[in-house]
Structure formats: C-alpha cells, structure tokens
Structure 1
Amino acid sequence: MNQWRTGWMQGVADFRDLGRAGADETLRVRVVSAVAGERARVKLSNRFGDGPLSVGALSVSAGDRVISARFAGRTDVTLPAGQECWTDPLDVTVQRGGEVTVDLYLPKPTVQATGNYSRMLMEVSGPGDHVGSPDFPAVGIPTVEAPDGSRLPLPVPFVCGLEVFGPEVAVTAVCLGDSITAGGWPEGAQELLAPRLDAVMLNAGIAGNRLRTDSGGPVASFGPSGLSRFEHDVLSVTGASDVVIALGTNDLGLPGVDAPLADLPSAQQMIDAYRRLSDRAAEAGLDVTIVTITPFLGSEGYDDSREGIRSVVNDWIRTAAPHHVDFDAALRDAEEPRRLAEAYDSGDHLHPNDAGTDRLAHAMATHLAHRHGSAVG
C-alpha cells in the first residue's frame, strides 16, 4: 500500500556563528532519495534562525521533470524563527537511489543559521531567481574556515527532509549519531542490504553531537543532545520503524577540550540516558539498536578515567541494550583494544577512515539482515 515515507533527512544544528548571510541568490541542493514514489514533498527548517526565513520560490526536480512548489497554495513562504514547514505534495516521480534537486530563492538578506555539514553539497547562484533553471549560474561551493584553518563546505541550510509517497519498505532506521555517523556508514549499510533487504538507513548524524548534553557558545553547531533532539529527529520521522543510537564518543572526549570539564558524565549517567531513549522509542513502537563506543586512545581528550567509563558503558550495551552492534570490536586494534586499528584510523585516532566506515556499514548491515532473516556477503 502506498503511503508517505521519508526518503532523505538531515539533523540540523545552530550555525549562526558562521555568519554567512546571502540575499537575492538561489541555493541548489542535491539529495539522494532512499525510497521511490510518484509524489514528493520537501521540509524547510528555520529552527535556529533569529528572524524570519523568506523563500521567494522553490522547485523540486527529479529526472527531467521540474515542479514549482507551493506552500498552502502560495509560491512563496515566510517561515518565522523557530518554525518548520512542508511544501504541498508535488507530482514528481522519484526513483530509489535517484537524485532530487531542490532550488530555493532567497530574496532578502538571510543568515543561513539552520543546517548541517552534509555529504550532499550545495551550489549558490549569482544574483537573481534561478529556481528550476537548466543553466544554473553557480558561483561555486561556498566554504567556511574551520578552527584548524582548513576550509570546509558551508553547511547545507534550511532543507532538512524529503518525503515520498510510494510503497511500504521493510525497515526504515533513523541513525542518531555524531561525526562518525555523518561520515556515511548508514548509506553504506543500506547499499549492502539492498540486494537482500528492503531497508532505508536515514543519516541523522551531527558532528560533535553528544548523547546527554546540548552544545552552545562557540560550538553550537554540535547540536542539541540526543536526548533533546530525539522527538524531532527520530519520533517525528515519517515511516520510521527502527532507531540506531550511535552517540557517546563526544560525551567522553569533548569535556575539557571543546566543552566544560564539568560536562564529563559518569558511566551510570550515560547508561541512564540510553535507557531513557530506549524507553521513549519503545513507547513509540520503534525497535532500538545501540552501538558500542569506539576506541580513541591517542586522540585529544583521552585519559584512563574516560577509558574506564567507555569500558563500563560498552559492557552494559553488550549485555542490556535491546539490540546492539559492536562498533568497538569492529574497529579496535587486536593488540591494544583501547586504540583504533591502524587500518581503520583516519589519522586523528578518533574517526575511522573510509575502510573503517565500510567496516561499520558491514557490521550494521549484517545485524539488520540477521534480524530480518537475510544475509550480507
């Protein structure tokens, strides 16, 4: 039976401190839908804005069809600070794994405050309304300066969800995580599952995100905690059947580095937070999987006391979580289990490289396939 399903989403955070304000420009955002259907709608967010978001026009393109969007019948919309909205349903055919392009025209000076670093980059036009244009006058991919002086693509603002009206899928899992999740293991797991299990893995990773503690100040872009954003980023996701909780690394590593040392939790406080999220998910009818916290010996923020907390928490996840996937075991060094194996270390002793991300994807795909009576090669 056809129904609305989430085909793509991103968790959003507060990027006001980046300070980029555009006016009389068009943004072009390309996303990939995990589901197919014959109608679609797009979600916009001004959740962290200080003022209204004015969108003069918006279009959605899939294949060779370009549709002008409407908002309650209007071609423009003004979204107050803190609010979100959906376009009206659009008659556009979306393919599973197909690219969907969203253009939005910003006629007024607009601080791009709400968004996320995304694997889907955006382009920005020269002056004018170029919504739906086949010859988009891109002026490049805007970047911002990172704390280490490197340049990062500007976070993708405002566009935070795509729903598609189409056939039901077996599993729709929201992956609530940090930068390790944002790095792409959900998409990798979905690709591995595709031949054997009709599964959608939605990436709700936010770099720097924590399980228990909201971020603020100079690192507000680390986002609301898993506890705070669970309703918004998991329970409100259309069609969700599962949640994967992949948070905890930054609860241990950030205090004393990019957060007050007083934020460092005890093992019991972390376990209590996992239990709270598990209970909320179960009440909503979602299956819960919690992943173990991966090693970080050698990274900034590591010490023996934090390693002790990680060990206790991981033991609880392995023995008491509703379901678990052992990301720790997948990535740790055989001789020094407090450290990432060299083959999977990106170089900072915290984040996995591409091979490590692939290994996490395989671990998650194997888990879900096993639960649903399939197999992953």
Structure 2
Amino acid sequence: MSTTSTPPTPSTHGSEQSVRWHATWAQSLPDVRADGEWFADVTLRSHLRVSAGGDRVRLQFGNRFGDHPLRIGRSAVSTRGRTAAATFDGRDGVTVPVGSSVLTDPIDLPVGHHGAVKVDFHLPERTLFPPLFAGSGDFTCQMSEPGDHVGAAAFPAVTAPPFPMPDDADLTLHESGPFLRTVEVANRVPHAVVVCLGDSITAMGWPEIAAGLLPGGSGLSVVNRGIPGNRLRLDAGPANLSNGRSGLSRFEDDVLKTAGVAQVVVALGTNDLGLPGAFEPLGELPTAAELIAGYETLLERAGTADVRVRIATITARSGSDDYDERREQIRGAVNDWMIRALGPEVVIDFDKALRCDTSPLRLDRRYDSGDHLHPSAAGQEQLARTAVAALLAELP
C-alpha cells in the first residue's frame, strides 16, 4: 500500500480552472481492511445532507487504504427530484489507484442549502469494504442486490444487519458508506469551509446538525471528518486499524486538502485517554503535557497554512467503562490549559455544554446516551448549538 495520498486532479476544461469549489459534505475513510468483506457487482446509495448549496456539484472518491485499485462504474447524484450522471474526464467509470483520490467532472445540478442528496455508484468488480449497518434519518448507505441500479427509482436494497448497541444506549449512528469522501459545490459567492476533525462524538453527527442551524447567507459550510475511536496523538494499533490514523497524521489529508477550508474544529482527546489499557497498550496513555503538545502542533501547522483553529474541550466521562482518577486528572489539566492559555477565541467549551451542573465530572442526564461517554441525540444537538454560537460570533 502506498503511504502517501495523491491529491485529486480536477478536470481542466478551459474555464474550470478559475472555478472555486468548496466542500459541502465530507467523511474520513479509515483503514477497514481488517473487518471488511468482499462484494462484487453491487450498487451503493448514500443518503446525505449537505451544508452549503451551489450551482454545480462534484464528487470525490478515495482509495486511501485499498490493497487493490478501486473500480467505480456508473455513478449519479440526485436532489430535488432530479438525477444527473457523474463522469470522469467524460467517461462513465474510473479506476482509483491505491492511495489516491479522484474527482468527477462538474455536474450541472443545483444543490440547495442543507439539501438532501443521494449519491449512487456501481462497483462492478470484486471489492473489499465494510458491512453496511442500518443507519438513521438523513445519514444512511444502502447496498443493492447484484447489478447496476444507479438512479433507480425503486432501489433494491439488501437488508442490513442491525448495529450491535447496548439496549439502554441512546446513540444516533450515521452510516454514509465507503469510498465517497467529499461532496463539493461551486458557488457564485465563496464559502469558508469549517472542517470538524474528531472521533465518534463527531462522527455521530453534530457537524451536520450545526450545518442545518447556520443561516443560508452565513458564508460558512460545515463538514464532518470524524472517525470512531480516533486519537489526537497516535495512530490506531494493528488490531484496531478502523480507528484510523491520528489527528496529527491525517491533518494534511483530511483538513488542509479539503476544498475551501478556512477553519478547523479539533474535537479529539477522549480516546487518547480511554483506549490505553483496553484496546491499546497502557503505556500509550499520555500525560497532560503530551496531549497539550499535540494540540500545539496542530495550532502551529494550521497557522502555517492560514487555517483558523478551534479546539473543543474534552467532555465529561465519569461512569464510563474506562474512567479512573488518573485519566480524569489528565482531562482536567488539559481542559484548564485550553481555557487559560487559549481563551474563548480558540476554545469551544463542549465540556461545559454537556456536563451536569451538580456533578460536573459527569454528563448531564439529558445529554448522556447511557454509556456516560457518548452524547445522546439531545447531546449532539447541544454540541451543534454550542459550535454554531462560536462560529457565528466571529462573523461581521
């Protein structure tokens, strides 16, 4: 496997070189080779809700962690009752090399602010990707029966197995499927893209909720680059590859190479505290100083790229499976450093937004999914409101 990521090459049809494109929906693609399955001649349909609208749209497909070239057959985008085919340099399909990403040609299909979009693409060859789980609401991916069903009015979806969750957990899971990495739009008015770099708390969907709360004329687009199990400092170990490369490792690909990026919200650190001793070696538990150094590195790298950084405090975790006093002391020291050293211009206080007033080391019952770590649906909405308030406060 290639250890570098090739930036996508857009079409160069004359005036296209002067068009400005901005990400309006995104996800991160973790390494799922350890738990993937092989499928052939199937169509995937992703149900998405974008952030900012635009006059035209294009798609980015990625094969960052593949062992084999990825063959994509026909593909299409649907919104507002219209469907348009996607092409690659004028051709119906494309082969994505290992470690690379590709962009479709621009598609003449207007997309509305916070609009619902469907993306279909056919995988004609034997392809490895993770099983698709039943999602919810606007964030689901379906796999078809065998065949090319791109654009089908009645999509012949295969029933997905339920995602195994605790019976008492109020978790909202969003399943957007493999390979589709980014949706971009072209706007007459430029948009500042806010990339949310996070773990499962981010992947669960507060950025998409935040995008819907932003007024259409805000000039902002919010996209989600969260990976469940992701850490700030260290890549996932060999037994947990789907937890992804660390925030530090993927910052270049997932933030700086996002079209139109102007800001990043870093919401990482929870798994740096929680995974060591359970899923990763205990010796990987960081000190407060080591975590702080990780945030400082991201601040420096973003500043060099002229990208504004917002850092979210680490939310309460008392009562969770991996909670102990040592980890709590580290969390408290890191959050204190953020608030004291960085201040409200940089910090978004997710901890304050979700914690219980009378027992501040715990999540408020309204915002607790039941595992005392992940926010409930109401907690996700609270995080979205908190992020939007911070983003809008800086607008002229």
For the criterion TM > 0.5, the same-fold answer is yes
Query: Post-superposition shift, 1:193?
Result: 2.8
- List per-residue Cα deviations over 1:297-332 (Å, max 9, x = no partner): 111111111111111110111122361111111122
- In structure 2, what is the Cα distance between the partners aligned to 1:88 and 1:315? 47
* Correspondence 1:107-146 to 2 at 5 A: 107-112=124-129, 120-140=139-159, 142-143=160-161, 146=164
The equivalent residue for 1:22 is: 39
The equivalent residue for 1:338 is: 361
Query: SS of the residue aligned with 2:34?
Result: helix
Contact 1:15–1:114 (Cα < 8 Å) also in 2 = no
Say whether 1:79 aligns with 2:96. Answer: yes
- List per-residue Cα deviations over 1:176-202 (Å, max 9, x = no partner): 111111222222223333277342211
Name the Cα RMSD after superposition.
Answer: 2.5
The equivalent residue for 1:358 is: 381
Contact 1:245–1:290 (Cα < 8 Å) also in 2 = yes
Identity %: 44
Query: SS of the residue aligned with 1:131?
Result: coil
Query: Residue type matched to 2:260 in 1?
Result: G
Distance 1:352 1:113, change over 3 A: closer
Distance 1:363 1:292, change over 3 A: same
Query: Post-superposition shift, 1:146?
Result: 4.7
Contact 1:296–1:340 (Cα < 8 Å) also in 2 = yes
The equivalent residue for 1:34 is: 51
For structure 1, which segment, 305-314 or 355-364, has the greater mean C-alpha deviation from structure 2 after superposition? 355-364
Contact 2:174–2:205 (Cα < 8 Å) also in 1 = no
- List per-residue Cα deviations over 1:184-241 (Å, max 9, x = no partner): 2222223333277342211111111110011132321111100011001100111111
Query: Post-superposition shift, 1:3?
Result: 2.4
- In structure 2, what is the Cα distance between the partners aligned to 1:271 and 1:183? 25
Query: Residue type matched to 2:121 in 1?
Result: L
Query: SS of the residue aligned with 2:221?
Result: strand
Query: Residue type matched to 2:200 in 1?
Result: S
- In structure 2, what is the Cα distance between the partners aligned to 1:372 and 1:176? 21
Distance 1:115 1:218, change over 3 A: farther
Distance 1:159 1:260, change over 3 A: same
* Correspondence 1:49-68 to 2 at 5 A: 49-68=66-85
- In structure 1, what is the Cα distance between the partners aligned to 2:339 and 2:188? 35
- Tell me the TM-score normalized by structure 1: 0.91
Q: Which runs of 5+ in 1 are unaligned?
A: none
Contact 1:188–1:358 (Cα < 8 Å) also in 2 = yes
Query: Residue type matched to 2:212 in 1?
Result: E
- In structure 1, what is the Cα distance between the partners aligned to 2:193 and 2:131? 25
* Correspondence 1:171-182 to 2 at 5 A: 171-182=192-203
Query: Residue type matched to 2:361 in 1?
Result: R
* Correspondence 1:131-280 to 2 at 5 A: 131-140=150-159, 142-143=160-161, 146=164, 156-169=177-190, 171-194=192-215, 197-280=218-301
- Tell me the TM-score normalized by structure 2: 0.87
Query: Post-superposition shift, 1:291?
Result: 0.8
Contact 2:51–2:212 (Cα < 8 Å) also in 1 = no
Say whether 1:105 aligns with 2:127. Answer: no
Query: Residue type matched to 1:133 in 2?
Result: A
- In structure 2, what is the Cα distance between the partners aligned to 1:219 and 1:95? 38
- In structure 2, what is the Cα distance between the partners aligned to 1:21 and 1:144? 19
Distance 1:77 1:7, change over 3 A: same
- List per-residue Cα deviations over 1:324-356 (Å, max 9, x = no partner): 111111122223221112222111111111222
Contact 1:39–1:92 (Cα < 8 Å) also in 2 = yes
- In structure 1, what is the Cα distance between the partners aligned to 2:376 and 2:174? 19
Contact 1:2–1:168 (Cα < 8 Å) also in 2 = no
Q: Which runs of 5+ in 2 are unaligned?
A: 1-17
Contact 1:48–1:114 (Cα < 8 Å) also in 2 = no
Query: Post-superposition shift, 1:39?
Result: 1.6
Query: SS of the residue aligned with 1:156?
Result: coil
- In structure 1, what is the Cα distance between the partners aligned to 2:194 and 2:176? 24
The equivalent residue for 2:391 is: 368
The equivalent residue for 2:372 is: 349
- In structure 2, what is the Cα distance between the partners aligned to 1:252 and 1:117? 29
Query: Post-superposition shift, 1:155?
Result: 6.1
Contact 1:14–1:114 (Cα < 8 Å) also in 2 = no
The equivalent residue for 2:10 is: none
